[in-house]
Amino acid sequence: MRMFEKTGALLRGHFELSSGLHSDQYLQCALVLQHPEYAVSLCGQLASKFKEDGPDVVVGPALGGIVVSYEVAKALDARSIFCERRDGKMTLRRGFSVATNDKVLVVEDVITTGASVKEIIEIMRQSGARVIGVGAICDRSSGPIDFGARFESLIKLDIQSFSPRDCPLCKDGIPIHKPGTRRR
């Protein structure tokens, strides 16, 4: 958390998260990961949680998971790929592929609902790969998420999230910011 505080990555205000939920706090991991020494440290710690699993491929969602995927893969001596949205749907592009029985680790910078990760898991399984785990720098979910694989994070934050219709920040007329990358 010191890295997040030092880089100003823990933002306060009124935010629409990639999940569509609203919150008064937002973790902008890009502000931490722009510093290579922090990226290497955080992703190295995350990689150490999966070293014994020996993943062949590390995959993350664009945009937030690209640096995490790359640095975790580097620490694990694995390949790094990413999925991205096309017409609102997560997909493998740019010639990326996984082979049948590849051991895949799915990583993300911040997990709130896990929707993007679940989409990637489905893509990996449809390709015949074996998802051996899910890792995130920060877990800000409000409860356990069943990914059908082991889930590890470096940080667990209890930050309140609200549906748009129940958001007290909206009711107070506080302007909203949309820093996330998912396009619905």
pLDDT tens across 12-59, in order?
899 998 778 899 988 889 999 999 999 999 999 999 999 999 999 999
Which of 144, 154, 90, 77 has the alpha carbon at shortest distance from 113? 144
For residue 132 the two structure tokens come to 């051996």
Return the bridge partners of 11, or none.
26
pLDDT tens across 85-142, in order?
999 899 999 989 999 999 999 999 999 889 999 999 999 999 999 999 999 999 988 7
For residue 88 the two structure tokens come to 């609102």
Distance CA 68, CA 107 (A): 7
The pLDDT value recorded for residue 2 is 85
The pLDDT value recorded for residue 180 is 66
Distance CA 19, CA 17 (A): 5
Domains and CATH numbers, the chain: 36-158 (3.40.50.2020)
The pLDDT value recorded for residue 84 is 94
Distance CA 105, CA 61 (A): 12
In the predicted model, is pLDDT for residue 182 greater than 70? no
